[in-house]
């Protein structure tokens, strides 16, 4: 049996577990900690579930944070709201500095237990599939708790105590059972310093990115653009279907016409004249593996980068396909959450799903960073909203994407925008490096 994970457990020891854990993995996982540990229950000062009330995307009511808005190991800005939450309920759920948010349940086991630090006071509440913990800071501070839960040893504890049925669940009750190492006050202080330095760089990165966005909107005169909210527009058959092939009324809302009319006061170019557009593949879930070539989907894409995936493709079958994105390739989502663009900073050994297009700049009058910023701006978002509307699951046809209008601005301004974006991404990368350093510090302490 050498090399196998085998352990003999008395049935009475199993019966002592609250949930009668009989899975082999629960008993065979090794604890590699060389330092003293305590149970999660001993470090909790306060714990609370989020709201389960219905959310909306119309900015009605109070902002509610979800797992989607976790920004690395910090929280971002909510995209959804709740207008059936009372003021008292909202105030009881407001996230404050040094709160720790943990994902409680998800269909993807790898997302369960994902943790983020609230690094400054907010006016946000949070959804019910998250729970909030405030640790006893004389035992462990919030940053160190997040660093531990994000480490490979924290992940093992989360996986060990999570319960799986239709979905995986890691509840506050399960958190109380995990083993948490007792770190020295020096380690606690060092990790907290790393986390808040990383947060400062992330905030600076976001501010510089906003400067690039503002420079773009100022240059094309859209900074204070307030399109019509009128839902009615009268079009003849010739002006509508015969011209566009569309009969859905939403396509002809005045706001879209106003945007195009404004953009066309500048020199413009169709996307097909600026970029080469290449499709990827959709191998189907039967091809998904647990190891091999990382398979990147829309869920892994944001305008700031790619997140890790838990889906892989076979290296033999897919390894030689000419589908791996190269440096300066722009990935653009065309299905689901349409219109998300990210420029690859270096050649990647990954394959992307068919929902992501590979765009390569071929027109020397346009810089890749500038084009990426425009794709993520209201200039293109509204064109995507117009084109992909009218269906339950959004789909942006490549033929429609080719016709997207991009304003052509002076190269000197494009270079300014590009410099700001590159500075922003460099700061974000440094922030991520500091968080990795904190995680590795935790792991070294655990390993002695």
Which of the pair, 284 or 415, is modelled with greater confidence?
Answer: 415
Tens of pLDDT along 159-179?
A: 999 998 788 999 999 999 999
| Strands (E) located in 224-314 | 268-270, 275-278, 293-296, 301-302, 305-306, 312-313
**Does the pLDDT at position 31 exceed 70?**
no
> Considering the domain 33-182 in this protein, what is its CATH number?
3.90.220.20
pLDDT in tens, 184-211: 999 999 999 999 999 999 999 999 999 9
pLDDT tens profile 51-96: 999 999 889 999 999 998 998 899 999 999 999 999 999 999 999 9
Percent of the chain scoring above 70 in pLDDT = 87
Average pLDDT value for residue range 413-417: 98
- Hey, how many other C-beta atoms are within 10 angstroms of the C-beta on 296? 23
Beta carbons within 10 angstroms of residue 21's beta carbon: 16
pLDDT at 27 over 50: no
Maximum CA pair distance of the chain? 80
Chain CA centroid to CA 323, Å: 23
Q: How far apart are CA 100 and CA 62, in angstroms?
A: 20
Q: Which two tokens stand for residue 313?
A: 């493709």
More confident residue, 148 or 395: 148
Neighbours of 390 (CB within 10 A): 14
Strands, E, within 271-414: which ranges?
A: 275-278, 293-296, 301-302, 305-306, 312-313, 330-333, 341-343, 351-352, 356-361, 405-407
Q: Which sequence spans correspond to the domains of the chain?
A: 33-182, 266-408
Q: Above 50 in pLDDT, residue 1?
A: no
Q: Residue 382 pLDDT > 80, yes or no?
A: yes
Beta bridge partners of 75: 70
pLDDT tens, residue by residue, 234-251: 666 565 555 565 656 676
3-class SS at 331? strand
Q: What's the pLDDT band for 323 if we cut at 50, 70, 90?
A: confident
Q: What phi and psi values does residue 356 have, to the nearest 5 degrees?
A: -115, 125
pLDDT of residue 243: 59
Q: Do residues 335 and 368 make contact, with C-beta atoms less than 8 angstroms apart?
A: no
pLDDT of residue 82: 97
| CATH fold label, 266-408 | Adenine-n6-DNA-methyltransferase TaqI; Chain A, domain 2 (3.90.220)
Decide if 102 contacts 133 (C-beta within 8 A): yes
How much is the mean pLDDT over the chain? 89
Domains 33-182 and 266-408 share a fold: yes
pLDDT at 391: 64
């Amino acid at each position: 049996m050498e090399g196998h994970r085998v352990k003999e457990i008395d049935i009475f020891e199993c019966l002592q577990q609250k949930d009668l854990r009989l899975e082999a993995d629960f008993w065979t996982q090794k604890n590699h900690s060389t330092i003293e540990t305590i149970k999660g229950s001993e470090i909790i000062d306060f714990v609370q579930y989020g709201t389960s009330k219905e959310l909306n995307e119309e900015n009605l009511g109070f902002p509610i944070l979800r797992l989607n808005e976790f920004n690395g190991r910090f929280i971002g800005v909510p995209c959804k709201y709740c207008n059936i939450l009372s003021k008292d309920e909202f105030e009881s759920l407001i996230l404050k500095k040094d709160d720790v948010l943990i994902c409680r349940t998800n269909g993807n086991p790898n997302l369960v237990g994902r943790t983020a630090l609230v690094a400054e006071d907010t006016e946000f509440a949070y959804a019910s599939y998250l729970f909030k913990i405030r640790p006893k800071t004389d035992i462990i501070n919030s940053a160190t708790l997040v660093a531990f839960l994000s480490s490979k040893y924290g992940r093992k504890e989360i996986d060990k105590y999570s319960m799986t049925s239709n979905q995986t669940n890691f509840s506050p009750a399960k958190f109380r059972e995990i083993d948490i190492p007792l770190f020295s006050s020096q380690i606690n202080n060092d990790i907290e310093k790393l986390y808040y330095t990383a947060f400062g760089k992330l905030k600076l990165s976001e501010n510089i990115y906003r400067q690039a966005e503002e420079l773009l909107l100022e240059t094309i005169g859209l900074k204070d653009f307030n399109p019509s909210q009128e839902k009615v527009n009268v079009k003849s058959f010739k002006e509508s279907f015969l011209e566009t092939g569309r009969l859905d009324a939403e396509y002809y809302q005045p706001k879209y016409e106003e945007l195009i009319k404004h953009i066309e006061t500048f020199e413009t170019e169709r996307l097909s004249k600026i970029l080469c557009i290449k499709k990827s593949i959709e191998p189907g879930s039967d091809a998904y593996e647990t190891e091999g070539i990382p398979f990147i989907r829309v869920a892994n894409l944001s305008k700031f980068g790619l997140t890790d995936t838990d889906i892989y493709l076979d290296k033999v079958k897919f390894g030689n396909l000419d589908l791996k994105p190269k440096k300066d390739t722009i990935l653009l989502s065309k299905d689901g959450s349409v219109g998300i663009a990210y420029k690859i900073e270096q050649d990647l050994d990954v394959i992307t799903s068919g929902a992501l297009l590979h765009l390569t700049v071929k027109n020397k009058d346009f810089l890749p960073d500038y084009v990426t910023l425009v794709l993520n701006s209201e200039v293109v978002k509204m064109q995507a909203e117009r084109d992909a509307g009218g269906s339950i699951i959004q789909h942006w046809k490549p033929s429609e994407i080719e016709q997207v209008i991009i304003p052509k601005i002076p190269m000197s301004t494009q270079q300014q925008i590009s410099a700001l974006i590159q500075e922003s991404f460099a700061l974000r990368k440094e922030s991520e490096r500091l968080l990795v350093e904190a995680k590795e510090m935790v792991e070294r302490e655990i390993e002695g």
